[in-house]
Structure formats: C-alpha cells, structure tokens
Amino acid sequence: MQHFSPQGSNPQKPLASRAQRVYSFAISIQRKGLHMNIQIFGTKKCFDTKKAERYFKERRVKYQMIDLKEKGMSRGELQSVVQAVKGLDNLLDPNAKDTQTLALVRCLVEAQRLDKVFENQQLIKTPVVRNGKQATVGYQPDVWKTWE
C-alpha cells in the first residue's frame, strides 16, 4: 500500500502522525537553541485567544497569557505592537462592542489616537501575539510558524 505525502516527498514513506510532527517541531527548536518569548494578549472569553494558546501548548512553546480585561498592555508594549503590525488601524477590532469610542478613535488626530486606544483596550482585536519585536493580531498560525 502506498502512502502519499502532500509535500511530494518519498511516496513510500507514511505520513507522520500529528504527535510526531509536534514533537519534531519542539526538538528542532531545542536543537537550534531558539528561545521564543511569546506573549498572548487576549481575553478569557475570546475563541481566537483560546486557539492561540492551544497552538503554542501543542508545540510545547512556553508563553505568557495576559488578560486585557485584568491587566492590559503597558504603553511601551502597545507602541511596540502598533509598530510591528504597521499601524494602529491594523490593531483595531472593527467589530468592537464600543462603537462610539471606536468611531472617536478613527476621527482623532494621530497623536491622540494611541492615547485613546491605551485608555480603551477593549477596542483591540484579539489575540495579540508578541515574540520580541514581532507581533500579530488575530489567529495567525502561518506567521507564528516562521518565528524563531
């Protein structure tokens, strides 16, 4: 019986199980000496935040979870994330419940926008996942795979 690999490698080689691939990923990180400093900013009720936590747990990558409702980002963290995601607009959740504040943020001049978002972090789309100076907004496993 032949096993086919989606990567087009040896057609006689059976596909690795999910557990074997996860273990292999964890070992490759250890061998390369990679130390990721993952921070996940989100809320306990956010489905995508839970998926992000599961993604890193399955790969045995340590992370720190910060609940935005309890603690929030520091001003420096917020500025770093805004820079990494190339602008404040990419950080805002268009489906935020606080539509009035979201509309206000969009009308403010650039200098005031960051302050208003810092004061109203419920406007941020979650999860925000940081690895040093790199960051993503939303569930983005394809980007996280490339992080070292």
Say which range, 11-15, 21-25, 112-116, has the weakest mean pLDDT: 11-15
Q: What pTM was computed for the model?
A: 0.74
The per-residue pLDDT for range 44-90, each reduced to its tens digit, is 999 999 999 999 999 999 999 999 999 999 999 999 999 999 999 99
What whole-number distance in Å separates Cα of residue 11 and Cα of residue 4? 5
State the pLDDT confidence band at 34, using cuts at 50, 70 and 90: low
Residue type for 46, please?
C
CATH superfamily of 18-138: Glutaredoxin (3.40.30.10)
List 38's β-bridge partners, or say none.
63, 131
